[in-house]
Chains A and B, each alone.
Chain A
Amino acid sequence: MEQHSLILSDITRRFGETTAVSRVSLEIPPGQFVGVIGRSGAGKSTLLRLINRLIDPSSGRITHGGREITALRGRALREWRRDCAMIFQQFNLVERLDVLSNVLVGRLAERGFLSSMAMRFSDAERTEALRALERLDLLPQALQKAGTLSGGQQQRVAIARALVQKPRIMLADEPIASLDPGNATRVMEALRSINAEDGLTVLVNLHTIDTARTYCQRIIAMREGRVFFDGTPRQLTNDVLRDIYGSDGLAEFSESVTSTSVRVKVPA
């Protein structure tokens, strides 16, 4: 499979008066693990949705290889969404359907109208879905209703659904924000293995800075819709963090406050 960089040029998105994303230009090479941080409302979520085209930009272009993403329509757009899988903070599973069916949703972009309406899939596709579930330790739950699983299990179902899309890019919109530390670690480890073993580009929105430092090769920080910092975890100093989160009035800014790490930090 040929590898391309994802290129955002001068992307802006306005919602009425507010500008959620303002003139963002980025180049993300294939296979990179990128974390996006910033306060709530800084435009992180909008940025990811713009890439997957759940939201259309007000201006600017997104390209991937020869494809101009921002111009895609109809079938080509659905194929792009398949190539650029997305997982959500609230998992966005169909809770009334079983886990296997939820994973098979990832195959819908390649299904015809009638077989999709009849919810019919080939044996090969079912095998593939089960393999993805096995990889995420969810095989025993395959026939349970998705709504009966715990949050961490649901998020792993969502990752399995994303995997059967055979994507090139994985977008994750605060995937661990509703999870406890143990499940958060499992989900982040799953993303790491997808990045390392399958060579997928991973773009993940995070609220916890120590998670971003642990997993990401590159960190992008947004503030008021703009890219405010773009560099390695090492370059992300406390001074930079204070600027990103605008901790005016807080005597001390501590990233351990947001930490979801299982290891307890003992004060020296």
Chain B
Amino acid sequence: MTYSLTDFDRDYREHRRRSRMVFWSAALLLAVLTWVTSALSGFFKVTQYTLPDGSREEGWVIPAGLPRLGEYLSKTIPELRWESLLADIANWFGRGAIWAELLLETVLIGFLATLFGVIGGLLLSFVASRNLSPAPWMLWVSRRSLEIMRTVPELVWALIFVFCFGVGPMAGVLAISIHAAGALGKLYSEANENIDMRPVEGVKAAGGSWADQMRWGVFPQVLPNVISYTLLRFEINVRSSSIIGYVGAGGLGQELRTAISLQEYTNLSALFLIIFATVIVIDWASERIRHRIIGIVTA
């Protein structure tokens, strides 16, 4: 029996039919999931709202609530007049000196937390890689540890450390370090699982210990990935450390909390601008650093 073109034609039709079925089943499943989850999160809610003339009306929550977003945002816009522009801006950023100091603290928390996170995450990542782990139980323990570290949100870690070590940036550094180590360890270990194992075998065959195999066989291969993930994490950590002051763990967050609870709306917009500008600068700088370093290590 030979396989003729007619046979191929039949098999190909069957193959096409199956692909189409998989596609449409997946599309249907996705549509149902989207509908169910948005219904559960209250997207289709009907609510009562007040019209400008004072009468009450029932309607869909989204058109009913959108005007309130504009209302809130408009409150955060400060009054700026041409004739007294500089004075108005100075007034807007009235707490600028305090904010500058807290901004520096925010960036420093982000930096130190990234450093600790890289050390912790890198050490755990080798044990947490399926292809490298010295023993199955060590793989299990390290993976579960990384999961716990990154599942508990930074704010919760911060609350715990503020309770232990008191109010201040140290609690923030510890909180973000642990979360970052958990997240980085996972990313690093995935990079480790994609390496070429032949150099590792080469080091092993020359009499290298497990640590030698990691240092010489694995680390040089994953270095560009490690740098890339680390710089991205630094940016995320600076953003986290600007929130973490909410629970007393240092940085700009304490000012955000004060502004929200005392309804100082223009302070909120000023703080937002400061954090936004900082993130843009870090993003731009880390992009440049990443390209420089990766250019050097891959050359």
Chain A residues within 8 Å of B, Cβ to Cβ: 52, 54, 78-82, 85-86, 88, 90-97, 101, 105-106, 108-109, 111, 113, 116-117, 119, 145, 158, 161-162, 165
Known contacts A94-B220, A96-B297; is-contact A116 B206 (Cβ 8 Å): no
Closest to B221 in A: A96
Contact of A119 among B203, B215, B223 (CB under 8 A): B215
Known contacts A92-B198, A95-B199; is-contact A105 B206 (Cβ 8 Å): yes
Closest CB pairs A-B (n = 9): A109-B207, A92-B202, A82-B207, A81-B207, A96-B220, A86-B205, A94-B199, A92-B198, A78-B207
List chain A residues, Cβ under 8 A from B297.
96
List chain A residues, Cβ under 8 A from B215.
116-117, 119
Known interface pairs A78-B208, A113-B209, A119-B215; 6 further A-B residue pairs with C-beta atoms within 8 A, sorted by A's residue number:
A92-B201, A94-B217, A105-B206, A108-B203, A108-B206, A116-B211
Closest to A116 in B: B212
Evaluate contact between A165 and B211: CB separation under 8 angstroms.
Answer: no
Evaluate contact between A94 and B204: CB separation under 8 angstroms.
Answer: no
State A55–B256 Cα separation when bound (angstroms).
60
Evaluate contact between A85 and B202: CB separation under 8 angstroms.
Answer: no
Closest to B220 in A: A96
Evaluate contact between A97 and B216: CB separation under 8 angstroms.
Answer: yes
Closest to B209 in A: A78
List chain A residues, Cβ under 8 A from B205.
52, 54, 81, 85-86, 88, 92
Closest to B212 in A: A108
Closest to A110 in B: B207
Q: Mark B179-203, 1 if CB is under 8 A from A, else 0.
A: 0000000000000000000110111
List chain A residues, Cβ under 8 A from B202.
88, 91-94, 105, 158, 161
Subset of 14 A-B contacts with CB under 8 Å: A52-B205, A54-B201, A54-B204, A78-B207, A91-B198, A96-B221, A105-B216, A109-B206, A116-B209, A116-B212, A117-B211, A119-B216, A145-B299, A162-B206
State A95–B298 Cα separation when bound (angstroms).
10
Chain B residues within 8 Å of A, Cβ to Cβ: 198-199, 201-209, 211-212, 215-217, 220-221, 223, 297-299
Closest to B197 in A: A92
List chain A residues, Cβ under 8 A from B223.
96
Main secondary structure of the interface of B (DSSP, over half): helix
Evaluate contact between A109 and B208: CB separation under 8 angstroms.
Answer: yes
Q: Which of A52, A91, A108, A119 has the most CB of B within 10 A?
A: A108
List chain B residues, Cβ under 8 A from A162.
206
Closest to A81 in B: B207
State A94–B205 Cα separation when bound (angstroms).
13
Closest to A86 in B: B205
State A210–B68 Cα separation when bound (angstroms).
87
Closest chain A CB from B224 CB (angstroms): 9
Closest chain B CB from A252 CB (angstroms): 29
List chain B residues, Cβ under 8 A from A90.
198
Closest chain A CB from B132 CB (angstroms): 15
State A82–B203 Cα separation when bound (angstroms).
10
List chain B residues, Cβ under 8 A from A119.
215-216
State A105–B297 Cα separation when bound (angstroms).
19
State A18–B254 Cα separation when bound (angstroms).
66
State A93–B221 Cα separation when bound (angstroms).
11
List chain A residues, Cβ under 8 A from B206.
81-82, 85-86, 105-106, 108-109, 161-162, 165
List chain A residues, Cβ under 8 A from B207.
78-82, 108-109, 165
Closest chain A CB from B7 CB (angstroms): 27
State A73–B156 Cα separation when bound (angstroms).
45
List chain B residues, Cβ under 8 A from A108.
203, 206-209, 212, 216
List chain A residues, Cβ under 8 A from B220.
94, 96-97
Closest to B217 in A: A94
State A73–B202 Cα separation when bound (angstroms).
18
Closest to B224 in A: A96
List chain A residues, Cβ under 8 A from B299.
145
List chain B residues, Cβ under 8 A from A86.
205-206
State A88–B197 Cα separation when bound (angstroms).
13
State A106–B216 Cα separation when bound (angstroms).
11
Closest chain B CB from A70 CB (angstroms): 17
List chain B residues, Cβ under 8 A from A111.
212
Evaluate contact between A88 and B216: CB separation under 8 angstroms.
Answer: no
List chain B residues, Cβ under 8 A from A54.
201, 204-205
Closest to A49 in B: B205
Closest chain A CB from B298 CB (angstroms): 8
Q: Which of A88, A96, A117 has the most CB of B within 10 A?
A: A96
Closest to B214 in A: A117
State A111–B217 Cα separation when bound (angstroms).
16
Evaluate contact between B203 and A94: CB separation under 8 angstroms.
Answer: yes
State A199–B217 Cα separation when bound (angstroms).
30
Closest chain B CB from A243 CB (angstroms): 32
List chain B residues, Cβ under 8 A from A81.
204-207
State A92–B198 Cα separation when bound (angstroms).
5
Closest to A78 in B: B207
